[in-house]
Amino acid sequence: MLNKATQETVAAGGTAAAPQDIAATMRVLGTSARKAARKLATATTAQKNAALQAMADAIRAATPEILAANARDIEAMKANGQTAAYLDRGTLTEERIEAIAKSLEDIGNLPDPVGQVIAEWDRPNGLHIERVRTPLGVVGVIYESRPNVTADAGALCLKAGNAVILRGGSDTFHSNRAIHAALERGLVAAGLPKEAIQIVPVADRAAVGEMLKGLDGTIDVIIPRGGKSLVARVQAEARVPVFAHLEGICHLFIDKAADLDMAIDVTANAKMRRTGVCGALETLLVDRSVADTHLVPICKALMDRGCEIRGDEEVRARLAEARPASEDDWRTEYLDAILAVRVVDGLDTAIDHIETYGSHHTDGIVTDDPKAAESFFQNVDSAILLHNASTQFADGGEFGMGGEIGIATGRMHARGPVGLEQLTSFKYRVRGSGQMRP
Q: Is position 379 an interface residue for its own copies (rule: CB under 8 A)?
A: yes
State which of residues 83, 85, 121, 328 lies at the interface with its own copies (CB under 8 A): 121
Q: Count residues contacting its own copies (CB under 8 A)?
A: 60
CA distance 427 to 129: 10
Q: Which is nearer to its own copies, 81 or 434 (CB)?
A: 434
Question: Could you give the string, one character per residue 254-273, with x where binding to its own copies holds by CB under 8 A and - elsewhere?
Answer: -----x--x--xx-xx---x
Phi/psi region, residue 111 (left: phi>0; alpha: psi -120 to 50; beta: rest), is beta
What are the two backbone dihedrals, phi and then psi, of residue 429, each rounded to the nearest 5 degrees? -115, 120
CA distance 99 to 376: 39
Burial class (CB within 10 angstroms; exposed 0-12, middle 13-18, buried 19+) of 239:
exposed
Compute the least distance from the CB of residue 224 to its own copies, in Å: 16
CA distance 339 to 272: 10
Q: Which is nearer to its own copies, 133 or 159 (CB)?
A: 133
Q: Is position 425 an interface residue for its own copies (rule: CB under 8 A)?
A: yes
Q: Is position 106 an interface residue for its own copies (rule: CB under 8 A)?
A: no
Question: Could you give the string, one character per residue 333-372, with x where binding to its own copies holds by CB under 8 A and - elsewhere?
Answer: ----------------------x-----------------
By the 8 A CB rule, do 142 and 224 touch? yes
By the 8 A CB rule, do 184 and 154 touch? no
Q: Is position 91 an interface residue for its own copies (rule: CB under 8 A)?
A: no
Q: Where are the alpha helices (DSSP H) in 91-227?
A: 94-109, 148-159, 173-189, 206-212
Q: What is the DSSP letter of 366?
A: E
By the 8 A CB rule, do 344 and 285 touch? yes
Which residues on neighbouring strands pair with residue 224, listed in sequence order? Answer: 142
State which of residues 46, 117, 127, 317 lies at the interface with its own copies (CB under 8 A): 127
341's enclosing H/E stretch is strand 338-344
State which of residues 146, 175, 415, 420 lies at the interface with its own copies (CB under 8 A): 415
Q: Which is nearer to its own copies, 86 or 393 (CB)?
A: 393
CA distance 90 to 87: 5
Q: Is position 246 an interface residue for its own copies (rule: CB under 8 A)?
A: no
Provide CB contacts within 8 A for 119, sequence distance 6+. 130, 131
Compute the least distance from the CB of residue 266 to its own copies, in Å: 6
Binders in 141-170 for its own copies, by CB under 8 A:
none
Provide CB contacts within 8 A for 322, sequence distance 6+. 299, 309, 310, 311, 315, 316, 341
**In angstroms, how far is CA 342 from the centroid of its own chain?**
29
Span interacting with its own copies, options 97-105, 292-300, 339-347, 390-398, rule CB under 8 A: 390-398
Q: Is position 6 an interface residue for its own copies (rule: CB under 8 A)?
A: no
Q: Is position 412 an interface residue for its own copies (rule: CB under 8 A)?
A: yes
Compute the least distance from the CB of residue 112 to its own copies, in Å: 14
Q: Which is nearer to its own copies, 82 or 235 (CB)?
A: 235
State which of residues 11, 41, 67, 87 lies at the interface with its own copies (CB under 8 A): 41
Provide CB contacts within 8 A for 91, sequence distance 6+. 70, 74
By the 8 A CB rule, do 165 and 140 touch? yes
Binders in 288-327 for its own copies, by CB under 8 A:
none
CA distance 326 to 3: 42
Span interacting with its own copies, options 183-191, 208-216, 321-329, 374-382, rule CB under 8 A: 374-382
Q: Where are the alpha helices (DSSP H) in 273-369?
A: 296-304, 313-318, 346-357
Question: Could you give the string, one character per residue 198-227, with x where binding to its own copies holds by CB under 8 A and - elsewhere?
Answer: ----------------------xx------
By the 8 A CB rule, do 417 and 399 touch? yes
Compute the least distance from the CB of residue 438 to its own copies, in Å: 8
Span interacting with its own copies, options 59-67, 142-150, 173-181, 393-401, rule CB under 8 A: 393-401
State which of residues 72, 89, 194, 387 lies at the interface with its own copies (CB under 8 A): 387
Compute the least distance from the CB of residue 298 to its own copies, in Å: 14
Q: Which is nearer to its own copies, 292 or 377 (CB)?
A: 377
Q: Which is nearer to its own copies, 78 or 123 (CB)?
A: 123
Footprint on this chain of its own copies (rule: CB under 8 A)? 38, 41-42, 121, 123, 127, 129, 134, 136-137, 220-221, 239, 241, 259, 262, 265-266, 268-269, 273, 355, 373, 377-379, 381-390, 392-393, 395, 398-400, 411-413, 415-416, 425-437
